[in-house]
């Protein structure tokens, strides 16, 4: 039997379930979410995800997002996670104004996830970030983590 992947879901994943303005990404995310609900993956979020959701100004959408992550296990935001995130910022991998993005990556690494799943193509899912994260993980003796979109994770026929 194939091992279930351990996936850290960054905040854009629940958001794109409701992203009517980007129907293609929404369709892919919904397909990914069907696989999550079917138990194909072990999925996790963190208090960083919860914090970002709680900042959602649209109260109706906020409630829907909170409902989506209900029951998903939380990974601890440890001091080690904070320290690694600070390294990503200091080394210019993630801009200092986007600390939550650095924290998402650090949480995925520290908790030894197989992958971080995100639609954040600007700061998380791009080749420069992936290469820099891989190098820093190696330099600091951490296990590397894959970073990708739901499209890269879902089962393809």
Note the pTM of the prediction, 2 decimals: 0.96
Q: Which fold has domain 5-153?
A: Rossmann fold (3.40.50)
Crossing angle between the packed helical segments 99-110 and 127-139, to the nearest 10 degrees: 50
pLDDT tens-digit series, residues 34-56: 999 999 999 999 999 999 999 99
Torsion angle of C-alpha atoms 14, 157, 131, 24, degrees rounded to 10: -40
pLDDT tens-digit series, residues 74-119: 999 999 999 999 999 999 999 999 999 999 999 999 999 999 999 9
């Amino acid at each position: 039997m194939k091992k279930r992947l351990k996936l850290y879901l960054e905040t854009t994943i629940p958001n794109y379930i409701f992203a009517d303005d980007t129907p293609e990404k929404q369709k892919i995310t919904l397909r990914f979410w069907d696989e999550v609900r079917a138990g194909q993956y072990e999925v996790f979020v963190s208090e960083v995800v919860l914090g970002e959701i709680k900042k959602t100004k649209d109260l109706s959408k906020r409630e829907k997002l909170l409902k989506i992550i209900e029951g998903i296990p939380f990974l601890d935001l440890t001091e080690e996670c904070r320290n690694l995130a600070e390294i990503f910022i200091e080394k210019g991998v993630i801009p200092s104004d986007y600390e939550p993005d650095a924290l998402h990556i650090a949480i995925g690494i520290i908790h030894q996830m197989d992958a971080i799943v995100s639609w954040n193509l600007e700061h998380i899912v791009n080749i420069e970030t992936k290469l820099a994260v891989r190098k820093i993980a190696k330099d600091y003796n951490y296990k590397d983590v894959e970073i990708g979109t739901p499209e890269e994770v879902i089962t393809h026929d």
